[in-house]
Structure 1
Amino acid sequence: MIRIEQVQKFYQVGRGGVGAQVQALRDINLQIEQGKIFGIIGRSGAGKSTLLRTLNLLERPSSGKILIDGADITQFDAEQLHGLRQRIGMVFQHFNLLSAKTIAENIDFPLKLAGSYSKEQRRQRVDELLDLVGLADQRDKYPAQLSGGQKQRVGIARALANYPTLLLCDEATSALDPETTQSILRLLSDINQKLGLTIVLITHEMQVIRTICDQVAVIDAGEIVETGDVADVFLHPKHTVTQSMVAENLALDLDVLQIRKERENGLLIRLTYVGAAAHEPILSRIAAQTQVQMVILQGTISRIKNTPYGQLLVELIGSSDEINTVLVSLRAADVRADVLGLSGSKY
C-alpha cells in the first residue's frame, strides 16, 4: 500500500540557489493499492515524472509524506534508502541500457551491485527473467542489435532483477510504435498478474491507461484534478482537463456536435454501456417500440482493461413525451444516458 499525503515540490530557479521558486507538485494526496496497476496521466510539464520519482526519492519532496507499507520513506537514512531502492524497480522511456554489456550482463548488473547473490544464483535469476520477457535467445546480443521493443523488455527484466514489490514505469512505451506498445503493455499486465506486483506508470496517452490500468490519477499543473477507477474516469470525466483528453482520444467531431445541438427538435445524448450490455441490441429494441427517430452521430465499442464498454452520441428527434419514454427505457436497461443539449431542456 502506498499513501501520498500533502506532497509538494519546489524547484529553485536561478544560479547558486538564488531566485524565484517554481512549484512542480501542489498538495498531492493519493492512495495506491497493493497489486494494482495505477496510472498517472497528464500533458507535458504537468508534473507526472516528478511525482513518480518521489516514490523512490529520486526526487525528494519539499514537504509532505510518502508512506510505503506504513513507513514514511522521506524519513529514511542512507542505509534504509538503499534497501528501499532495491525493492523498487524502474523502467525508463529510453531504456538506459549499458551499450558495452550483453543483454544477460545488463540484467545481471543490479544483482552484482546488490552483492548478496552467488554467481550461480545470479545466472539462474537472469535465465528466469529472460524467459519471462521472451528473450532467452537474445542473451548474448548487445543493445544495439535489438529493436526498441526488445530493448524495453530488457529494461523490464533488469528492473525485476532484485525481486521488487513495486515497479515504476516512466513513459515506458512513448518511444515505441503502436503495435510494440501493445506487446509491452501485455507483458506488464502478465507480470502484474503472475507476480502480484504493484505497478505505477506515467503516460500522456489515454489509450495506455485504458488498456492496462485499474485506477488512474489525472495531473495538471502539479495538481491531481481527478482520480478513480479507469472506467469511471474514462467514461464519465468530470474535470475539464480529463474531458479534453478523453475527447482527443475518441476523436469527437465537435463541429458536427455543435450543429446538432442547435436543432430545435432534437435532443443530444451520450449513451454509455458497460459490461454485457455493450453487446446487447438495446437501442434497436427501444427504437422499435417508439416513434422517436434516433440518429447515431458517433460511437465506439471497445474495452477498458478487461471490461467491455460502448459509448454512442445519439440525437433523439420527437415529442417531449416520446423522448422521455426513451430515456426512461434506456436507464431501465442499465444504459447511462447523459443529456448534452438542448440548453434549458427539462431532460
Structure 2
Amino acid sequence: MIKIEALEKEYVVGQRRIAALRRIDLQVEKGEIFGIIGRSGAGKSTLLRALNLLERPTAGKVIIEGEDITQYDTQQLLALRQRIGMVFQHFNLLSAKTVEQNIAFPLKLSGKYSKEQRQQRVDELLELVGLSAHRHQYPSQLSGGQKQRVGIARALANYPHLLLCDEATSALDPETTQSILRLLLDINQKLGLTIVLITHEMQVIRSICDRVAVIDGGEIVESGEVVDVFLHPQHPLTQGLVAENQALDLELLQQLRQRENSDLLRLTYVGDATHEPILHRIAAQTSADIVILQGVIARIKNTPYGQLIVELAGETSERIKVRQLLTAAQVRIDDLHSSAVEGVQ
C-alpha cells in the first residue's frame, strides 16, 4: 500500500538548514492500522503530511499503490488527495455549515456526484459515525467528540483508500478518546481501510494499531509489531514512553535491583497464557519465594497480555527451578539484575 524510501525533509531558516526527516524507510500494508509515535517536534507530523505531499520531501520516494507520488503533477496530486482522507487534531470544520453540509462539502468539490448521490453518501456516513440525529446542528453546538466524528465522516466522504489521522484524539478527554479509537477500529474492520495515525500517546498505539514506528529527531529509531515494541522496547525513547503508559515506579525498581540473594525478573505472558494461574502452580512446586512487585494485565488491540515484575528469593537451586518452570510454560523471562532499569516496562 505505502512504501517510503530514504525520505528526507529539510527546512531553510535564515542561513541554516534544519533536517526534519532523516532517511526514513517504512512500509505500511493494505488494511492495517499503522501508528507513528514520538515526542513533540520529533517529525511525526511532517512525515504524515508527506504521505499526501502537503509536505514535499527534499529527497526520497513516497510510493502509494505502486506509484511514486513525488513525481505527480498538479492534476495527479489533486486526484490522489481525493483518495486520501485526513482527520485533524482541531477538527477544522466549517463553522457556518451544518454537520451534513460539512460532510457533503468534499463531495461537492469533487464534482463527481449528483445531489441525490451526495445526500445518500452523507446519510451513510452519519449513520456510520452515529450522528444522524445531529445532521442539522452547527459545530458550535457539538461536543469535541462529536466534532471529531464529523471530521472523520468528512474524511471518508470521497471513498478514500487511505485515512491519515493527525493527533486525532489529543484534544479529547480520555473517555471520548476511547470512543473515537473504537470508531476508527470499526471503520478499519468494516471498510478494510488503511489507517496511518500519529500520536504522542502509547495508549492510542496499544488500543488499535497493528504496527508502530517510533520517531525521534526525524529518524525512525524502532519499529515493528505493536506487541513486540510495547512489551520489549529496545530504544530508550520507546522504553520511556512505555514506562509512562504503565505508570511503573522506576525508582523503586532501581532500589530493588540492589538486593542480594534474590532475582528481579520481568515476566511476560501473551495470548491464552495471560489468564492461566501459572505463578500459583509454580509456587506450589517450589520452596522459592515469589513476590509480585508491580504488573499489569491488559490487551494490545485484540491480544491479551500480562507483564509482571517479580522478586524471586530462596536457594539458588529453587530459583533455577522456578525459571525452568516458567520457561516450560512459555513465559518470557527478562533478568532485571543484568538489565538497565530504563528497560523496565
Q: Indicate the residue corresponding to 1:249 in structure 2.
A: 245
CA contact (8 A) 1:267 1:342 kept: no
Correspondence 1:6 to 2:6: yes
The DSSP-based 3-state class of the residue aligned with 2:90 is: coil
Alignment of 1:118-267 (within 5 A): 118-267=114-263
Aligned partner (choices 268, 281, 289) of residue 285 of structure 2: 289
Sequence identity of aligned pairs in percent?
A: 73
Contact 1:191 1:197 in 2 (8 A): yes
Q: Does 2:106 match 1:110?
A: yes
Deviation of the 1:342 alpha carbon: 5.3
Instruction: Show the counterpart of 1:49.
Output: 45
Give 5+ residue unaligned stretches, structure 1: none
Asked if 1:276 is matched to 2:272, the reply is yes
- 1:21 partnered with 2:36: no
Deviation digits for residues 76-132 of structure 1, max 9, x if unmatched? 011110100000000000000000000000000000000010011001000100000
2: distance between equivalents of 1:273 and 1:342? 21
1:32-88, CA deviations, whole angstroms, 9 ceiling, x for partnerless residues?
000000000000000000000000000000000000011000000111101000000
Q: Secondary structure at the match of 2:336?
A: strand
Q: Distance in 2 between matches of 1:155 and 1:342?
A: 49
Residue 106 of structure 2 corresponds to residue 91 of structure 1: no
TM-score by length of 1: 0.97
Letter in 2 for 1:145: Q
**Root-mean-square deviation (Å):** 0.8
Find the counterpart in structure 2 of residue 82 from structure 1: 78
SS at structure 2 position matched to 1:28: strand
CA–CA separation in structure 2 for the residues paired with 1:183 and 1:255:
34
Alpha-carbon separation, structure 2, partners of 1:42 and 1:190: 25
> Would you say the 8 A contact 1:25–1:222 is kept in 2?
yes
1:66 aligns with 2:62: yes
The alpha carbon displacement at 1:319 in A equals 2.1
Deviation digits for residues 225-266 of structure 1 (CA, Å, limit 9, x no counterpart): 000000000001011111111111111111211111111111
* C-alpha contact (below 8 Å) 1:268/1:342 kept by paired residues: no
Question: How far apart are the structure 2 equivalents of 1:27 and 1:319?
Answer: 52
Q: More displaced, 142-151 or 286-295? A: 286-295
1:138-196 per-position Cα deviation (integer Å, ceiling 9, x unaligned): 00000000000000000000000000000000000000000000000000000000000
> Using the alignment, how far apart are the partners of 1:223 and 1:270 within structure 2?
29
Rounded to whole Å, the distance in 2 between the matches of 1:259 and 1:116 is 66
Q: CA deviation at 1:320?
A: 2.0
Q: What amino acid is aligned across from residue 68 of structure 2 in structure 1?
A: D
After TM superposition, give the deviation of residue 321 of structure 1 in Å.
1.9
SS at match of 2:7: strand
* Greater Cα shift, 144-153 or 249-258: 249-258
Counterpart code for 1:260: L
CA contact (8 A) 1:260 1:266 kept: no
Per-residue deviation, residues 2-31 of structure 1 (Å, max 9, x unmatched): 0000000000112xxxx1010000000000
> Which runs of no fewer than 5 residues in structure 2 stay unpaired?
340-345
Query: If the length of structure 2 is used for normalisation, what is the TM-score?
Result: 0.97
Q: Distance in 1 between matches of 2:57 and 2:323?
A: 49
- Equivalent position SS for 1:252: coil
The 4+ residue runs of structure 1 with deviation greater than 3 A are: none
SS of aligned partner of 1:210 = helix
Aligned counterparts of 2:250 and 2:115: Cα–Cα separation in 1: 61
Q: For 1:317 and 1:219, locate their aligned partners in 2 and report how far apart those are by CA, in whole Å.
A: 39
